[in-house]
Amino acid sequence: MAPMRHAGILAIQVVSMAVLTVILLVALERTPATSAQLPMLEAVTTDGEVALSFRLDGVFDEDFRRKLESGLPTGFVFELRLVKHRKRWWDRTLETRRFQVAAMYNAITREYLINYKLDGRLVESRVVVDPNALEPAMTEFDDLASFTLDDTTSAFERLRVRARAELGRRLLLG
């Protein structure tokens, strides 16, 4: 009787490993293989305000355009962090901001409505008619007022800005 019980346990283990392998392969197939990158991030400080300029490349592919033309809000979320750089120790985060860019396509008027939000508050709305102007409007940002430096921040402190983009549900790009 004991050998039969072990054979049943072995069969269950083989079946569970096969199911786990299939689930893993399906998950890997659904993970978007993109060559997205943040090649440029510049910070300029004027009168205690930190303005960022950055660009996101490699995200406008055929799949992304198909999602846009469905009419549902489609876009990106950027996590921007202002950190105090400390040599030989972990950097301390001073401030974190979430910048969202979402576009919605109106099939009747053939226009794209683009909303820009900083920490959930609407910063700007823009209507784009030309499909070729849509990509720069969603991926290139100049002089985005992101952070405010308070009086306690010394002019000699080493501050850095870090950016991370969330592209869909599963892909993070830092």
Report which DSSP code applies to 62.
H
pLDDT tens profile 135-173: 999 999 998 888 888 766 655 567 888 888 887 655 455
Longest dimension (CA), the chain: 83
Kindly indicate the confidence band of residue 33, based on its pLDDT and cuts at 50, 70 and 90: very low
**For the whole model, what pTM was predicted?**
0.70
Helix (H, G, I), strand (E, B) or coil at 144: strand
Instruction: Return d(Cα 93, Cα 81) in angstroms, integer.
Output: 7
Kindly indicate the confidence band of residue 30, based on its pLDDT and cuts at 50, 70 and 90: very low
